[in-house]
Amino acid sequence: MNDFFDAIEFIFNEHESPAGGASVGGLSNMWELMWPHLQLSGASMGIACAIAIPLGLWLGHIGKGGFLAINASNVGRAVPTLALIAFFVVFIGVGFWNLTLALVLLAIPPILTNSYTGVRQVDRDTVDSARGMGMTGAQIVRRVELPLALPLIFGGIRISAVNVIATATIAPLAGVTTLGDPIINVNTYGDEGRLAAALVVALLAVVTELALGAVQRAVTPKGLKLEGGAGWRRRAMALPNNRREATT
């Protein structure tokens, strides 16, 4: 347990680096590492959402491209994050925006799959009655399909966000200093620094998951909440599509 006390102490107090020279540890140093971590994750998630949500809504609305939307997740999972980052390092280059692009590719599949599935699982009768009320296609997407798909869309965002935060930990391999720096460059930070970084990354992921879970509940239309009831099912929906149609 002493290792954990040392690690927590590292988070709050500055230390001399085991490699000599600059001091490491302490809250300001942790923040210096966490800020680029958040910037990187935020930029990637923003871009991924801007691409995947409209695309998923559109494919779901016209009812085409289901094969692409559903299999995007399956293919995405099969590429290890370390391999993805390594491919980017050797073929595209290092640096903040190159890495952002890699993380965008990582973040898109779950959001795309869930946006598509979210629209497709909207009751067709509901869509028909909206059309019967004289709504245009764009109105149906915005006022009927999007609200009803929001819980699933946010489920996708949750998976991607946690995955991106986890993967941003190996960003130092691509030349971006994040919370992963103490993990990769253990000589500079020491063992307690590495454990401290692992603790902070784990905490960051759990806090993000809980916060987005709260947002997900907040954006769930009242009607769906009344109908749903079973909390674990909502939770289950937050994960990659596991319906029978996705198994073949």
Partner 1 sequence: MSPLLAQVEIREREDTCVSDNGFCPDWIADNFDRYVDPFLQHVLLTVVAVAIGFAIAFTLALVAYRHRWLINPVTQVTGVLYTIPSIAAFFLLLPITGRGFVTATIALVAYVLLIIFRNVLTGLDNVPDETKDAGRGMGLTDRQLLWRVEVPLAMPEIMAGLRIAVTTTVGLATLAFFAGAGGLGEQIFADINFKSNVVVAGGLAVALAALLDAAILITQRAITPWTRAAAAR
For partner 1, the binding residues (CB under 8 A) are 1, 3-4, 74, 77-84, 86-87, 89-91, 162, 165-166, 169-170, 173, 180, 183, 186-187, 194-195, 197-199, 201-202, 205-206, 209, 231-232, 235-236, 239-240, 242, 244, 246-247
The least distance separating partner 1 from the CB of residue 83, rounded to whole angstroms, comes to: 3
**What whole-number distance in Å separates Cα of residue 174 and Cα of residue 94?**
5
Q: Which is nearer to partner 1, 68 or 166 (CB)?
A: 166
Q: Which is nearer to partner 1, 50 or 210 (CB)?
A: 210
The least distance separating partner 1 from the CB of residue 20, rounded to whole angstroms, comes to: 14
In 3D, which of 36, 44, 11, 41 has the Cα closest to residue 178?
36
Q: Which is nearer to partner 1, 135 or 199 (CB)?
A: 199
Torsion of CA 73, 198, 214, 161, to 10 degrees: -30
**What whole-number distance in Å separates Cα of residue 80 and Cα of residue 176?**
19
Beta strand extents in the chain (DSSP E only) = 14-16, 23-25
Q: Which is nearer to partner 1, 78 or 226 (CB)?
A: 78
Q: Is 65 left (phi over 0), alpha (psi -120 to 50) or beta?
A: left
